[in-house]
A = this chain, B = another copy of it.
Amino acid sequence: MRYELYYWPDIQGRGEFVRLALEEAGADYVDVVRGRGGVAKLQRLMRRGDHPAFAPPFLKAGRMMVAQTAAILLYLGEREGLAPRAAAQRLWVHQLQLTIADMVAEVHDTHHPIASSLYYEDQRREAARRSRHFVAERVPKFLGYFENILRRPYLAGRSVSYADLSLFQMMAGLDYAFPRSAKRWRRKFVRCAALAERVADRPRIAAYLASDRRIPFNTMGIFRHYPELDGN
Contacts and interface: CB of A to CB of B under 8 A. Distances in A.
Interface of A: 47, 50-52, 54, 64, 66-68, 70-71, 74-75, 88, 91-92, 94-95, 98-99, 102, 105, 109, 113-115, 117-118, 126, 129-130, 133, 137, 142, 145, 148-149
Given A95-B68, A98-B68, A129 B130 contact: no
B88 A52 contact: no
Contacts of A137: 115, 117
A14 to B, nearest CB: 11
Contact of A75 (B66, B91, B142, B148): B91
A26 B148 CA distance: 36
A51 B133 CA distance: 27
* Identical chains bound together, number: 2
Q: Is the interface of A mostly helix, strand, loop or mixed?
A: helix
Contacts of A75: 91
A54 B126 contact: no
Given A47-B148, A126-B129, A66 B95 contact: yes
B149 A52 contact: yes
A109 B108 CA distance: 13
Contacts of A109: 109, 113
15 contacts: A51-B95, A52-B148, A54-B99, A54-B102, A66-B91, A67-B95, A68-B95, A68-B98, A71-B95, A74-B91, A113-B113, A113-B130, A114-B126, A115-B137, A126-B129
Nearest to A53: B95
